[in-house]
Amino acid sequence: MARRVPLHRSLLVRLLASSILVAACAVAATAWLAAQTTEGAIRDGQSRVLADDTRIYRTLSTYAATHAQWAGVEPVLRALSRDTGRRIALSTREGAPIADSDAGPASPPPFARPSAVVDPLAVDAALVPTTGSDRIDPEAVGPFRLTDAERAQSRTDADLVVQCLAAADRTGEVGQRPNGRSTVTLTGGGGTPSGASVTEPAPAPATDSASRPRPSVATGPPGVRPGADDAAVGERCGLGRLNTPTATEQRALAELNALLAACLDRRRLPPLTLGPDLTWDHDAAPPGARDVAACVDTARREQLTPYVVPATLLFVGDHDGSTAPAFDLDRADTVRIAAVAALILLLTAAVTGLVAARLIRPLRALTDAAGRMRDGDDATRVDLAADHEIGRLAQAFNDMAEHRSRLEEQRKQMVGDVAHELRTPLSNIRGRLEAVEDGVAVPDRAWTASLLEEALLLQHVIDDLQDLAEADAGRLGLRLESVSSYDVAQQVVAAHLARATAAGVALVVRGEPGAVLRADPVRLRQMVGNLVSNAVRHTPAGGRVTVRVRDDGSAVVFEVADTGTGIARDDLPHVFDRFWRADKSRNRRTGGTGLGLAIVQRLTRAHDGEITAHSTLGEGSTFTIRLPR
């Protein structure tokens, strides 16, 4: 059991003292600042509230202009509420609640009187100064909104125009209209923006005493007129192409003209066609231009109505349901702030002590468990619920302890397996040498060949262990190059064909010669060769081993299938374990070292691939390697 920490070094005491000190300083500073700055903050608050209300109205008006209903507006209300500190609610004109930043969509309006009416077809020009005399929100574009493809094409055209202008020593700036159309404005050398027409429904043309429609195209820098040279450059660079209506705009304009024709017909006025900029030819306009302008306004509103939110009541106020009155901080308020500060200080100390005590208890348990693990107790566990941070730490500690225990068992087992694998060939070599030394055996050619065979087996085990050690340490170097997977399969089959023929096993390759990938050819042949060698070893005479290669689009797949003895379902998860053999009675001469499949798995992972095994006992096995192209 570890010794208790001295009181002056205890985390509990230090946490409590630090928390009290920080809380005391924070509360004192907060109270002093509140007493000193509240009066000035109140005066500034009124102007800030007005700016916040304007921002709220503009944001919701834009939302109403770009959506057909209020569904999904709750996140917008909550974001505005967080930024402005106001409570925001919406309801229909009949008083049915729509959404509330505090209470949700099912709550009644929190204030007695609405602050404003949000109607994208009749906005408050004082709050949205960019609107025209028709009071339609500029963001309300309805069917004039371009598709994604049209937006991309418009942007591409604008970029080409800018590049052309740059080649002509002109500067152009790319902008975008609310409906998504890109525009180009000549700057520096003078000029007017292009690409402004049919970008969105322009405000209804206001007529003056001469009934001249207001242009819908923005003007350039004040006092700058495009000269003949600018006009020629603009024509050569295709500024006019930016004004060509898209299919979406043509359909929307045709629909608007149909609505306008119906209105003119109802008023018994001659037909009139709006141009792409939603203006009409003054010379072709009939008498009564005011009636024509009214029909244009009516047609636009009829066209936009399905695409915008209906008129809605907006409620803005405090979170407690009242508006924010102006007030001055008096002595009683100052005393109240000090009392609240003292209460906060006491609460902070109490809560900090409680939290610290609960924090220290599991930490002590973890410390004791770590000490027991250091002393060799691998069964150490800390029983804590994982519903808080310390509990999760305890769970991670338990997982680490279990993982450490498993690694220790694997290490012990591997040491025993390595000793067993090396003991047999070394014992054979020693026995034969001692027999020669004692004069029992005579060193002849057969005796030398036997010693060489044992040495080769020993070298094979050492090479396999070396490959695994390099793979585990991340030092397995790969020389990647373009490799034909079919050629690799053919080379492996050719290398193992004599052995397969001697064992009475048919060895064939199937696949598509065109599959190419980036891989280390030596390691790739080693991977496939280990699988083929393993398959031939476990396939009886008269059986077949098939190597298949195919291109799977993003990966090249090698499959080695045999008709051998197969692997039991319970043993299949262990086929890639080191020194594992399905038949425990097999020795190294008939069952290999038990490292081949483990090496294949490590080499596959080094190539960012994966290997899987499927087998049916008595029918055969299939090993599949997937390597990325």
pLDDT digits (tens, 9 = 90+) for 139-164: 888 898 889 898 898 888 888 888 88
Please say if the pLDDT value at position 219 is more than 50. Answer: no
The pLDDT assigned to 225 comes to 36
User: pLDDT (tens digit, 9 = 90+) per residue, 319-341?
Assistant: 766 655 445 555 666 676 677 77
Structure confidence by residue, pLDDT tens digits, 487-540 = 989 988 988 898 899 999 999 999 878 788 888 888 888 888 889 988 998 899
Q: Look up residue 163 and give its two tokens.
A: 């590049």
Instruction: Say what percent of the chain tops pLDDT 70.
Output: 70
> Tens digits of per-residue pLDDT, 433-487?
877 777 777 777 777 777 776 676 677 667 766 766 666 666 666 788 888 889 9
Residue 42: the pLDDT is 60
Hey, what are 596's tokens? 């081949």
Q: Give the per-residue pLDDT at 209.
A: 32
Q: Which tens digit of pLDDT belongs to each residue from 391-429?
A: 677 778 788 887 777 767 756 666 665 665 666 677 777
Beta partners for 182?
176
Of the candidates 148, 156, 151, 147, the residue with the CA atom closest to the CA atom of residue 177 = 151
Token pair recorded at residue 76: 């917008």
**How far is the C-alpha of 458 from the C-alpha of 598, rounded, in Å?**
18
pLDDT digits (tens, 9 = 90+) for 548-575: 999 888 889 999 999 988 888 877 777 8
What CA–CA distance (Å, rounded) separates 623 from 171?
A: 64
Distance separating alpha carbons of residues 89 and 115, to the nearest angstrom: 10
CB 271 within 8 A of CB 261: yes
Report the alpha-carbon distance of residue 43 to residue 46 in Å, rounded. Answer: 6
* Max CA pair span of the chain: 135
**Token pair of 96 as six digits:** 């049915």
Q: How far is CA 443 from CA 435, 440, 459, 582, in A?
A: 9, 10, 22, 37
Which residues are bridge partners to 171 per DSSP?
187
The residue type of 509 is V
Which residue carries 């770590």 as its tokens?
370
Q: CA 267 to CA 287: how far, in whole Å? A: 12
Rg (CA), the chain: 42
Specify which of 197-201, 412-416, 593-597 reaches the highest per-range mean pLDDT. 593-597
Question: From CA 574, how far away is CA 413, in angstroms rounded?
Answer: 14
- The three-state DSSP-derived secondary structure of 43-79 is HHHHHHHHHHHHHHHHHHHHHHHHCCCCCCCHHHHHH
Nearest residue to 289 via CA among 266, 269, 261: 269
Q: How confident is the model at residue 580 (pLDDT cuts 50, 70, 90)?
A: low
Statement: residue 11 has pLDDT above 50: yes
CA distances from 154 to 230, 246, 389 (A): 22, 9, 53
Contact 260, 269 (CB under 8 A): no
**Cβ within 8 Å of residue 217, ≥6 positions away:** 192, 193, 196, 197, 277
Pick the closest to residue 544 from 519, 521, 566, 561 (CA basis). 561
Lowest mean pLDDT among 13-27, 255-269, 485-499: 13-27
Q: Which of 212-221, 291-300, 327-336 has the lowest average pLDDT?
A: 212-221
Residue 488 phi, psi (nearest 5): -60, -45
> Residue 440 carries which side chain, given as an amino acid letter?
V
Q: In degrees to the nearest 10, what's the CA dihedral of 599, 602, 606, 610?
A: 110
Are 117 and 278 in contact by the 8 Å Cβ rule? The answer is: no
CA distance 389 to 236: 68
- Asked whether the predicted pLDDT for residue 367 surpasses 50, the reply is yes
DSSP tag of 216: -
